[in-house]
A and B are shown apart, each in its own frame.
Chain A
Amino acid sequence: AQSVSQHNHHVILSEAASLELGCNYSYGGTVNLFWYVQYPGQHLQLLLKYFSGDPLVKGIKGFEAEFIKSKFSFNLRKPSVQWSDTAEYFCAVNGGNDMRFGAGTRLTVKP
């Protein structure tokens, strides 16, 4: 069955620290991969997406993600986080028609 795993439930970082959030998926066919962000009290917004081509994709606000097909992974990175990055981050996979989401990782950035 199709599934998405996010390894970290809650990550706490200080400003300027580097960020990497893990995402692994289980699906046998071709997939498209997404990261969404949900700021406190707001709806989910698309951060970045991977469809094909260069496995390193860049999104908004300095975020990037790397697709490693052999590892079924799509980890999210940011070299230097800011307090305003405090939010919940969801990895999502679409292997057919419908989007399947991971459980989310809550990121808290301390000023």
Chain B
Amino acid sequence: NAGVTQTPKFQVLKTGQSMTLQCAQDMNHEYMSWYRQDPGMGLRLIHYSVGAGITDQGEVPNGYNVSRSTTEDFPLRLLSAAPSQTSVYFCASSYKRGQWAPLHFGNGTRLTVT
């Protein structure tokens, strides 16, 4: 019972480099999302998806792209990394987008941009 799987666990990038954070879930959840966690700021929503082929922006989308080609996968792309993107990134999913749906989280990716 894998749940939400994120890779890699740790990553160091230089400013301007690009990379993709992977997220996969095996619970057939419609809703998937990406959050970043920063000290003193809690978790902030970057992008989300309510199903394959459908994505939308969250609270802090700038500098990030997403796509949802399958129900299972929701990768997050950093096109040109900046030090301000140093953070811990969590992928989360739920069976549906809505008030009543608790989120299931992955183990996180700790990203450092130098």
Interface residue ranges of A38-88 to B (CB < 8 Å): 42-46, 49, 51
How distant is B27 from chain A, measured CB to nearest CB, in Å?
14
Are B42 and A46 in touch, CB under 8 angstroms?
no
In the assembled complex, the Cα of A101 lies from the Cα of B108 at a distance in Å of 16
Residue of A nearest to B96 (CB): A97
Interface presence of A22 (CB below 8 A): no
In the assembled complex, the Cα of A100 lies from the Cα of B90 at a distance in Å of 14
Which among A31, A45, A104 is the interface contact of B99 at CB below 8 angstroms? Answer: A31
Interface presence of B63 (CB below 8 A): no
**Could you give, for residues 84-97 of chain B, a 1 whenever the CB lies within 8 Å of some chain A CB and a 0 otherwise?**
00000010100001
11 A-B residue pairs with CB within 8 Å: A43-B90, A44-B43, A44-B92, A46-B102, A46-B103, A49-B102, A94-B99, A97-B99, A99-B103, A100-B45, A104-B42
Interface presence of B41 (CB below 8 A): yes
In the assembled complex, the Cα of A42 lies from the Cα of B72 at a distance in Å of 22
In the assembled complex, the Cα of A42 lies from the Cα of B107 at a distance in Å of 6
Are A30 and B99 in touch, CB under 8 angstroms?
yes
Given A42-B107, A98-B45 in contact, is the A9-B40 Cβ separation under 8 Å? Answer: yes
Which among B35, B41, B90, B99 is the interface contact of A32 at CB below 8 angstroms? Answer: B99
Are A97 and B90 in touch, CB under 8 angstroms?
no
In the assembled complex, the Cα of A102 lies from the Cα of B35 at a distance in Å of 13
Are A102 and B102 in touch, CB under 8 angstroms?
no
Residues on the B chain within 8 Å of A90, using CB:
42-43
